[in-house]
Amino acid sequence: MKLASPEQIAGHTNATRRGALEGTVVAGSVATLGSMWATRRYTYFRQLPPSLKLLGILLVTAPGLTIQAERRGLEYDKSQWEGDGMQVIQAQEAQETTEWESMSTGDKIGAWASRHEYSIIIAGWALSLAAAGGIISRNPYQSTSQKIVQARMWAQGLSVGMIIAAAAFKTNRNLGEKASRPSADHSWMDIVAQQQQQQESRLALEALEAHRAKARALH
């Protein structure tokens, strides 16, 4: 395997920066519009200090920035694979597609949830915080600060419950598998193995050609 050239490193950096900018613009716009809508719609949200509103926008923008930056970086890396590396990637993608198509609906849901467990937990925390805030905000006997504390406590409790449920689900899923299959990666071992197989095939073909040439010479 050859090392990345300076041009490839620069290209990867530019792709990552472009993804970060895209994620910031999209997620930041959604978060800002949501904050503006909540300010007009809910009195308790309107009474929050600007620092908390800004924190809410950042909590939505930061994951969008990170996820899109990583996506663009991976897309660029994939576009640079060629030769044996590309063949390894294509073989692994074909295997993953075959395994996915052979799964039942329940197995697909379980596999998807297992791959995105942290995203589900974060989304669940945000939704539980919003739901708890909406319910607690109707209590006329609590101040705004008390409502914020109550909503945060409910969200934290629900998040802990989701983490425990996710851990139990993952443990049960691992126990249900007969043998754990190592995760496929684009490592040098895959490429070396493929190159060795190609070399053996080439040597066998050369030996066959030599045998045929010798047979023709005898006749």
Q: What is the pLDDT of residues 28-87, one digit of tens each?
A: 999 999 989 988 888 877 887 888 788 888 888 888 888 889 889 888 888 877 665 666
Average of per-residue pLDDT values in the chain: 77
- Which tokens go with 1? 């395997």
The region of weakest confidence among 17-26, 44-53, 119-128, 183-192 is 183-192
Distance (Å, whole) CA 113 – CA 105:
12
In this predicted structure, the answer to whether residue 21 has a pLDDT above a threshold of 90 is yes
Distance (Å, whole) CA 153 – CA 138:
17
Q: How confident is the model at residue 188 (pLDDT cuts 50, 70, 90)?
A: low
Residues 93 and 3 in one domain: yes
Q: How confident is the model at residue 194 (pLDDT cuts 50, 70, 90)?
A: low
| Total domain count, the chain | 2
Residues 73 and 124 in one domain: no
Distance (Å, whole) CA 143 – CA 150:
11
The region of weakest confidence among 91-95, 161-165, 175-179 is 175-179
State the CB neighbour count (10 A cutoff) for residue 198. 12
Residues 88 and 23 in one domain: yes
Residues 89 and 36 in one domain: yes
State the CB neighbour count (10 A cutoff) for residue 69. 20
Q: Which residue has the higher pLDDT, 119 or 58?
A: 58
In this predicted structure, the answer to whether residue 180 has a pLDDT above a threshold of 50 is no
Q: How confident is the model at residue 189 (pLDDT cuts 50, 70, 90)?
A: low
Q: 9-48: string of b/e by CB count within 10 Å (b at 16+)?
A: eebbeebbeebbebbbeebbeebbeebeebeeeeebbeeb
Question: Is residue 211 domain-resident?
Answer: no
Mean pLDDT of 141-152: 74
Q: How confident is the model at residue 179 (pLDDT cuts 50, 70, 90)?
A: very low
Give the helix/strand (H/E) hosting 160.
helix 144-176
Give the helix/strand (H/E) hosting 97.
helix 84-102
Q: How many CA atoms, within 13 angstroms, populate the side-chain half-sphere of residue 185?
A: 5
Distance (Å, whole) CA 48 – CA 151:
13
Residues 20 and 115 in one domain: no
Residues 69 and 163 in one domain: no
**Total residue length of the chain:** 219
Distance (Å, whole) CA 64 – CA 27:
5
Distance (Å, whole) CA 137 – CA 68:
34
Q: Which domain holds residue 111?
A: 104-176
The region of weakest confidence among 77-81, 104-108, 214-218 is 214-218
The region of weakest confidence among 46-60, 68-82, 115-129, 182-196 is 182-196
